Each structure stands twice: as C-alpha cells, then as structure tokens.
Structure 1
Amino acid sequence: MIVLSDFEAVREALVSQAEVFSDRPSVPIVAMLTKKKGIVFAPYGPVWRQQRKFSHSTLRHFGLGKHSLEPKIIEELKYVKEEMLRYGKDPFNPFPIISNSVSNVICSMAFGRRFDYEDVEFKTMLSLMSRALEISVNSHVLLVNICPWLYYLPFGPFRELRQIEFDVTAFLKKIIAQHRDTLDRENPRDFIDMYLLQVEEERKSNSESSFNEDYLFFIIGDLFIAGTDTTTNTLLWCLLYMSLHPEVQEKVHTEIEVVIGRDRAPSLTDKAHMPFTEATIMEVQRMTVVVPLSVPRMASATTVLRGYTIPKGSVIVPNLWSVHRDPNIWERPDDFQPTRFLDENGQLIKREMFIPFGIGKRVCMGEQLAKMELFLMFVNLMQNFTFLYPENATKPAMEGRFGLTLAPFPFNIIVLKR
C-alpha cells in the first residue's frame, strides 16, 4: 500500500499517469457489497467507462450542473426552513433535516420523486446508510478483508452490516420494480426510466451488453449513498463552523444582504458576485475534506512514481486530508480562514491544490451537483437564519468521525429567524 501525501504526488499519479492509476483494488468487503459493479468502486475498464458515460449524460439530462435543477433545490429548502422553525429558540440536532433535504435532490433526479421528512422508510434508509459507512471502517469489519467468511458471522457489526445491506437492497429494488411497472417509453421521468429504456435498447442489438437491472441497482445505490452522505456532511460542517465563528457568519450575512437582499431566493447567477461566501464554503471543504483518503486506487501496471518503482497491483491511497493541511501550501493550515481563497481585492482565487472532489479520470461524478447544492442551500439558510452554538454546550471535537466519509460529531444548534 502506498499513501500519496502531497499535491505533486497525487497529481502525478492521478493525472499524469491516469491510465495506470485509475483502477480499483479488489477489497473483499467492498466486492461483497458492490459485486464490483456501479460507478464508485467498479474496476476501471470498458464497462466502467460505458456505464459512467451513460450515467453522467443522463444526470445532465435531468439537470446535473444546469439551472433547471435550481427550482428543485430551492423548493426542497422550503421544507428545511419549516422544519427548523418548529424548534423556536431551542437547540436541535440538524443532521436528519439536512440529510433528508440533500437526499431528496438526488432522489428527484434518480427516482423522479422526493420523500416526506416523516416517511419512516426513507428516514430509516438514510440512517442505515450513514451507519454502514461508519461501520465499514470498523476494525472488526475490516478483518473481513483478511478472512472473508467473517462477514457471515451471526453477531456484532458483521450481522448489522448484512442487515443494512438487506434493507437498503429491498428499498432500492422496490423502487426499480415500481418504475418497471409504470414505465412510459415516450416520457421517461428520471434516471431509472432512462436506464430501463437503455437496457431494452441494448437487448435488441447486443446480447453481451453490460446494461441490465442488476447493474442499475448498484449505480442507483452509488448515486443515493455518494449523493447524500458527502454533501450532507459538508453542509453540517458549514453550519457548525458558522455557529463557532460568528464573525465569519456576519460577513456572509452582509454579502447576502448586498447581493441578494432578504426577499428573493438565491440563484447560481449570484455566485460570481459573492466571493466571500464562496471562499467560506471552500474553506470548510478544505478543513474537513469529506472523503479524506479519497477512494483507493490500484496500479494496473508496474510503473515509476516520484522515483519509486510501484509494482503492479499496489494499492494507492491519495491522502486528500494531508494535501489540504500541507503547511508548505497553506499558511497556518489548521486555522479557519476563508480569506486564504481571496486576493487583495477580495476576489476569489482558484487554487489548483484545492481538490476536495479528487482529480483525474475518477474525479467525483457529482462534483457539479454538489457545488450547486452547497451554494444554494448554504446561502438560502444563511439568508433566513443566524446559527448559534448553545452557550452551555461543549464544543464537539473538530477532527470529526471517520467512516468512509468524515462526519462531524453530533451537535445541537440554535436557529434565529433573520
């Protein structure tokens, strides 16, 4: 296993030698859960390229990175604000509300519908997913990589993970079945419909096609999990940092007042005029890289990297956390300073060492969606509320809880209507 801990090493491997370093290692626990299918963990090759290309263009068709998705995000925020206002001035846990809203944006593109915040099945799915990502790096569960049969033990985290896999599978397969039964070939409603039509199309011309309902299930799982957990955690970190740094929150409020005012909903077109707000989101992402060790790669051939021979089959871990905390790049890297992303005129600086979504051929497919959601949701919440950390509450440890993603430790927050 080779860990790449500075920007130059990460860039050389993932960009300059992308063909060699775009594969995924075969990790037993991952192979058991994903059957080597989907987008995130699937091995690099023609099938992956085909599936990713289709997924990316279909998501674009349903608004990925486009303004047509904006109303859906703004609509979702009405529910978020209603939920938050129910607590008055009492501290509350923002995790479920944020998680529901972020997940609903991806659900609207993938499943063609949003779920009510009180929908028991939906709430259960979201908490199961978070839990699965947390226990997948539990030291006991990781033993499965050495002795795969441990996965089938009838107790402890092994049993819990199997149960989660069973429940999430049932939830997603039910949604796919409903789509199959109500498919209108002339009017595909969402990603699942488009995929089912592609399966039919390919069956006619190509019996060896990789497009089938089984593969669809794993792609939907990837979209649902990757599209919920990462953006949810980033937004939660944003709220936590704002409540702990009122002076930064005040500046964000001021910029929103000047550019948008209080009555109009924010739009992506505002982004260009809000450098401080954008720099604040970027600084939260830098401090709390949500996928700190990226997703491991594997060398598909023996090669030389930074003067070292890397044997074929080596596992490569791009340590994005250390890239974003490197004192040679970032001055006082452990301090929260949004201004590091601004020049002397207060304009945004694009820094190539800022890579929270990774780089290269396996860069995060949802990068555009995440950036849209983060900006619109963060600005909308800041436009409507001031976030306070409860006075007598202990501050949570800021290094976060490491699962596959980096989540904040549980915290409560107070919202005041502005």
Structure 2
Amino acid sequence: MLTISQVLIALVVFLLTMQFLKLQRARRRLPPGPIPLPILGTFLQLNFQFNCDLLMKLAKIHGNVFTLWFGWAPVIILNGFQAVKDGMTTHPEDISGRLVSPFFRAMAKGKGIMLATGHTWKQQRRFALRTLRNLGLGKRGLEHRVQEEACYLVEYFASMKEKPLDPSFPLFHSVSNVICAVVFGHRFSSEDETFHELIKATECIFKFGGSFIHYLYEIFPWLMHHLPGPHKKALSSYDALSSFARREIRRHKERGVRDEPQDFIDFYLAHIEKSKDEPRSTYDDDNLVYSINDLFLGGSETSSTTLNWGLLYMVANPDIQEKVQEELDAVLGPSQLICYEDRRRLPYTNAVVHEVQRFSNIISVGMPRVCVRNTTLLGFPLKKGSIVLPNIASSLYDPEQWETPRQFNPGHFLDKDGNFVSQEAFLPFSIGHRVCLGEHLARTELFIFFASLLRAFTFQLPEGVTKISTEPIFGGTLQPHPYRVCAIPR
C-alpha cells in the first residue's frame, strides 16, 4: 500500500510533467529557444546568469529572435542591430508597454514614468517632456546650468592639487546637480548630508538591479517578500528617495504656487490643480513622487557613470587623450565656455564621447517592453501582454555594424577625412516609443563635462600604479571597478 509521502511525490511528479508538456505546447507558437522547465523556465540552461554576452551567444544558436522563459513567462529576445531596430520601430505603439515586474511593482507601484505603463505612462511622460522643454531642455537656459556645474567640477579637481582621487563622487555630484536644479529648484553642496544619503540610496538600488537575488525576487516574489536580504535594503533605499521627494513637495506647497513656475515640482503642482476635475487624470502627489525619483535616478546615475568610464578610458589610452587635447587647444580658447554646439567644430572629441558611450554600454541589455495589443514582431505573431526584450548591447557590439566592436576605437564615428559621422546602430538611449526622455540633456552633459575636463587636465594613474581594469561590475548599470586618478593641470 502506498504511503502518504509516496502519493505526494507521485502527485508532484505528475503535476510537473503536465506543466512541462504545457510549456512545450506553448513554445511551439513562439520564436525558438532553449527548452523551458517547470518553475525554473530556462534559468538552469543559463546557469542562473543573464547578461548581454550570454544573449549574444544564444543568438548564434537560436537566431536573432529567440525565446527565454523566466519561470512561466516567455520573453522574446531581440539580438543584433537589425532585429532591435526593426522590432522596436516597425510597430512601435504595439510594444510600448512596460513590464511592471514584481520587484518594480513593489518599488514604484506602477507609477511615475520609467516603471509605469498604459495611460499613466503616456500622461506622465508627455507632461515631463513638455515641462523639461519649458525649463530649458534643448535651449541655452539648461545648457547654462551644465556649463556652471562643469566649472564647479573643474574647480574641484584643481583643488586636489594632483593628489590621487576617486572621480566617481565629484562626477555624480556635478551631473546630479543639473537635474536637481531642474526638479527641485536648487543644487546641493558636496558636504550636504542629505545629498550623501541620496547617493547611498542610489548606489544600493543600482547594485541590486540585475543581481541573482533580484532575479529570484522576480520569480518567487511571494517567498522573497517574507525573507530578509539585499532586496529589503534596495526597497528601503527607494523609499528613502521617495521620502526626500515628499519633503521637497511639502516645502513647495508651504511656499505656495508661484505665478511663474521655477522648477518641475512647481509645474506639476500647478497641473494637479488645473486637471483635478478631469476624470482620467493621473496627476497626483504619488505620481509626482515617482516621477521625481525617475528623473533623479535617470538624470544622475547614467551620465555620471558614463563620464567615469570616459576618464578611465583616457587613462588607459593616453594617445587618444592627447589627440582630444590637441583638438581642444586648436579650436577653443583657454577660458572659453564650452557649449554643445562646439561639437560640430570638435569632430574627434565628439567621436571619443560617442565611443565612450558605445564601448561602456552601461545599460547592457535594456528594459523589457510589453505588447499592448496583439501584433506581429519580425514575422512572429505575439499576443497582448507578451514580453519583448531588446538586447541593446548587441547593437552596440554588432560585428556587422562596427569595425572593431570589442575595442575602444573613436574611428567608429569618423570618416576617412576625420569628419564626425553618426551611426544608425548607436542606440545607448534605446529606440522606439520608450526612448530615453532625457537623451538631449545627457548628450549635452557628456560633451560639455568631458571636453571641459580634458581641456583643463591630463588624467594619469597615481605614481607606482601600472595597471587598471576596464572590466565592468554588473548591476543595474555596468560600473567600472573603483580606481584613483591624478588630474594634472595643463
């Protein structure tokens, strides 16, 4: 006679077998890929890893459009420039949804801009774009803020008097102050304790992103919710950002709505009042908080990390650094404020900035999209709710698009006469309806900060240090290993 344990084991085996067969039927309607297993999906075949290089290896086996399974959920991967471009732009509205995964839902509640979808996303993004333009995005007003912070940054490096320093904090501080001035109406001093708390919270969130525990949370949210671990710290760090945003909103309310709005919060509070009688309005304090978080995180971390890589590459490639400086000296005066328009007269410097973005590839894979209606993606029929993940790195490293994809080579953006040439496969800001809304600001910051630093200093390793790692640390963004550098005045 069978024991209870034997019956339970038999029942579990039966259920797993049925689920396995169900998965095999489901995968026949999708692009090819590794065989999924119940509960684990394809994580076992991936050795519980998930990065751009692994996806590019899988594309060689299964093709540039293939399927991975995260637990029970299929995810369509687009690999290579052509697949990413065609997949994101043929029917861009059809795949404009955002996958609000369990961890992101616990974090941002589906509100704000970056982690929202549907009607909420459309309203919040449209308002953010319009308001950023009103505050000077793409105009001289906002560019002046970037120039001002670039001057502060140069002064800071000069104050170190050639002593070795870790550039990550001053870079983050200067870049972040641009978006802080836009959103909050003020900048932070480098000694401000609140600002240091915001940096710690930001670092915690991005270090957790893409980690093994992060993936476990996405697969087993009901279990991870009750367990201690780094996911709890990341969520509390996001709550700390939200608390700061609420304090700033409260200060603005206490000051009263201005006749002439001065910052993002002013504009948003005025719009809450204006749209309060609209039945489908999503303008409220919660969406304001999460929009502030998105603007702060997106406007601080990505550009500062890219600049951090930029200085590292200059130290690792002193010949390229020297060529940038020769061009800057030949074109610009020693005290002239650098503006974004100068990139047209500085083709080599512009090419180096672009190559820093391409080669550092700080976002790696990219953010998943969701089909908002039934559609066809590169010949494959997909149902509403299907998850699509464009492997952005595969476009930036596509051997069919770049002469030396795995080498730092500014020549990728120069023609034979030394003129700057844009490249269609250059997609660090993504593509389609979910393209980065701060793209123009980021481009302006990267060029002005980089050119200002290279004109003022030569960057080199501290005495006695001969090697430096250019391998990334994986996380929400790809970070360089901590390093120290000497800024030698020119």
Tell me the residue number matched to 1:239. 311
1:361 counterpart SS class: helix
CA drift of 1:151 comes to 4.7
Map 1:52-67; keep pairs closer than 5 Å: 52-67=125-140
Residues 3 and 106 of structure 1: is their aligned pair in 2 closer, same or farther, counting only changes over 3 Å? same
2:98 counterpart SS class: coil
Tell me the residue number matched to 1:350. 422
Residues 320, 355 of structure 1: 8 Å contact kept:
yes
Equivalent of residue 322 in structure 1, options 381, 386, 394:
394
Equivalent of residue 36 in structure 1, options 110, 123, 137:
110
Tell me the residue number matched to 2:324. 252
Please say if 1:401 is aligned against 2:473. yes
Please say if 1:121 is aligned against 2:194. yes
Which string of whole-angstrom CA distances, capped at 9 and with x for unpartnered residues, describes residues 126-156 of structure 1?
Answer: 1211221111322123222222234544632
Please say if 1:17 is aligned against 2:91. yes
1:186 counterpart SS class: coil
Question: Percent identity among equivalent residues?
Answer: 37
Map 1:157-168; keep pairs closer than 5 Å: 157-168=230-241
Give the TM-score, by structure 1 length: 0.95
Residues 208, 231 of structure 2: 8 Å contact kept:
no
Residues 282 and 388 of structure 1: is their aligned pair in 2 closer, same or farther, counting only changes over 3 Å? same
Stretch moving more, 287-296 or 226-235: 287-296
Tell me the residue number matched to 1:221. 293
Which string of whole-angstrom CA distances, capped at 9 and with x for unpartnered residues, describes residues 28-52 of structure 1?
Answer: 0011111111111211x33322221
User: Which runs of no fewer than 5 residues in structure 2 stay unpaired?
Assistant: 1-74
CA drift of 1:223 comes to 0.1
Tell me the residue number matched to 1:144. 217
Give the TM-score, by structure 2 length: 0.82
* Aligned residue type for 2:193: V
Residues 208, 475 of structure 2: 8 Å contact kept:
yes
Equivalent of residue 455 in structure 2, options 383, 391, 395:
383
Distance in 2 of aligned mates of 1:136 and 1:254: 40
Residues 29, 142 of structure 1: 8 Å contact kept:
no
* Aligned residue type for 2:110: K
2:434 counterpart SS class: coil
Distance in 1 of aligned mates of 2:260 and 2:374: 48
* Higher RCO (C-alpha 8 Å, min separation 6): 1
User: Which runs of no fewer than 5 residues in structure 1 stay unpaired?
Assistant: none
CA drift of 1:64 comes to 1.1
Tell me the residue number matched to 2:338. 266
Tell me the residue number matched to 1:85. 158
Residues 396, 410 of structure 1: 8 Å contact kept:
no
CA drift of 1:401 comes to 1.7
Which string of whole-angstrom CA distances, capped at 9 and with x for unpartnered residues, describes residues 198-230 of structure 1?
Answer: 001111x32442111111001000000011111
Equivalent of residue 434 in structure 2, options 355, 362, 367:
362
Residues 257, 270 of structure 2: 8 Å contact kept:
no
Residues 366, 389 of structure 2: 8 Å contact kept:
yes
Give RMSD over aligned pairs: 1.6
Residues 298, 316 of structure 1: 8 Å contact kept:
yes
1:317 counterpart SS class: strand
CA drift of 1:311 comes to 4.0
Distance in 2 of aligned mates of 1:70 and 1:367: 13
Count of matched residue pairs? 416
* Aligned residue type for 2:408: F
* Aligned residue type for 2:170: I
Residues 153, 159 of structure 1: 8 Å contact kept:
no
